[in-house]
Amino acid sequence: MNLSPGIKLLLVLAFVACSVYGFMIKLPSGFRHVDKEMHAAFYFAAAAFLNILFAKRNIIKHVLIFILLYLFGMAIEYAQEYSNTLLHKRIHGRYDPEDILWNTKGLIAFSAVWIAIVSVLFVYRKLKTGNTV
């Protein structure tokens, strides 16, 4: 199924809006002990979503998505800290460099999976067409 650029943009905007909302509210207490793992899982899933939607097997697009998600993670951390100052009330945590580290771990984990899949597909296509790798 091929989605039009407008539908892709709408999906990304909805995803970003939900993500910003989710990161700006306080995490329910039942999940606070797995906060870092949730950061990694979210960024792994976000990278998968955006790579499937845009990059396919294009390394340049993959790297661009990695960079944009990394910057998004940093921006969210700064926004959390700023919102506490702006609203004079703590609606979320504070800027946490460890969260950025776990965001990056999720991105790196997805990149490893993505590289493995793209490599296998490359070899498979070469073998299928009879070309040597």
Percent of the chain residues past pLDDT 90, beyond the cut: 62
Quote the tokens at residue 67: 């960079």
Residue 91: its pLDDT value, please?
67
- Tens of pLDDT, residues 54-70: 998 999 999 999 999 99
**Mean pLDDT of all residues in 14-22:** 89
Domain range holding 97? 5-129
DSSP letters for 24-35: HSPPPGGGGGGH
Nearest to 44 by CA among 23, 10, 11, 73: 73
**pLDDT band at residue 21 under the 50/70/90 scheme:** confident
Residue 2: its pLDDT value, please?
85
Say which DSSP state 83 is in. H
Query: Could you give the number of structural domains in the chain?
Result: 1
Instruction: Please list, residue by residue across 40-57, b when 16 or more beta carbons sit within 10 angstroms of its beta carbon and e when fewer do.
Output: bebbbebbeebbeeebee
| Residue of higher predicted confidence among 29 and 126 | 126
